Amino acid sequence: MQFSKSTAYGLHALMLLAKSERGRNVGIKELSSSLGASESYLSKIMSKLRQDGLVRAVTGVNGGYELARAASEITFLDVVQVLEGRQHLYECFHGSDHPLPALEAAGDEPETPEFAFGEGCPVKQVMDAAEQQMNRYLQQHTIQLALNQAGSCDAHTACKK
């Protein structure tokens, strides 16, 4: 399990937008060269962020992207949910709803089958709660907050401790 590269790109792109002066559009060329990502790939990511209302986009000359709201109003959770999707991290196999399509004569042992755990499954309860812990933290941390962190070193660039 890993966060996708898209999420890394998206988060960093937003950091760059947050750094740029308000009102100025940042083009995909600038973003992609700053991040070392291809324009075409990063475009897709920016489109998603726009569709979800995190950034605004203007086409044409002098167009580009800017934050749709203050950096202090954009949480890491917002970004993660757009780019990773909103499904739960954990599922109790086979979609967690239908009780397994096929399971004919299962060989010898006709045990009580214990699959098809729904919302009440104790395993799922723990896993969901664990996810919740992470999400809560992500929700409490905004782009602005991270930007401030960066400020104490060299605004968002290297800063190896």
Partner DNA sequence: ATATAATGGATATTACAGATCCATAATAAA
Partner DNA sequence: TTTATTATGGATCTGTAATATCCATTATAT
Size of the site for its own copies (CB under 8 A): 72
Give the contact letters, 44-73, x = binds to its own copies (CB under 8 A), - = no.
------------------------------
Site for its own copies in 69-108 (CB under 8 A): 76, 84-85, 87, 89-94, 100, 103, 106-108
Q: Which is nearer to DNA, 4 or 132 (CB)?
A: 4
Q: Which residues 6+ apart lie within 8 Å of 68 measured at CB?
A: 50, 53, 54, 55, 56
Q: Which is nearer to its own copies, 48 or 141 (CB)?
A: 141
**CA pair distance 126, 114, nearest whole angstrom:** 18
**CA pair distance 64, 61, nearest whole angstrom:** 9
Backbone angles phi, psi at 65, to 5 degrees: -120, 150
Q: Which is nearer to DNA, 65 or 76 (CB)?
A: 65
Residue from 12, 48, 50, 56 touching its own copies (CB under 8 A): that is 12
What is the token pair recorded at 147?
């930007």
What is the token pair recorded at 30?
């600038």
CB of 46 to its own copies, least distance (A): 16
Residue from 33, 47, 51, 72 touching its own copies (CB under 8 A): that is 33
Q: Which is nearer to DNA, 109 or 154 (CB)?
A: 109
Closest CA to 81 of 139, 17, 145: 139
Show the 3-state SS of 70-93.
Answer: CHHHCEHHHHHHHHHCCCCCCCCC
Site for its own copies in 135-154 (CB under 8 A): 136-138, 141, 145-147, 149-150, 153
Q: Which is nearer to DNA, 2 or 152 (CB)?
A: 2
Closest CA to 54 of 38, 32, 70: 70
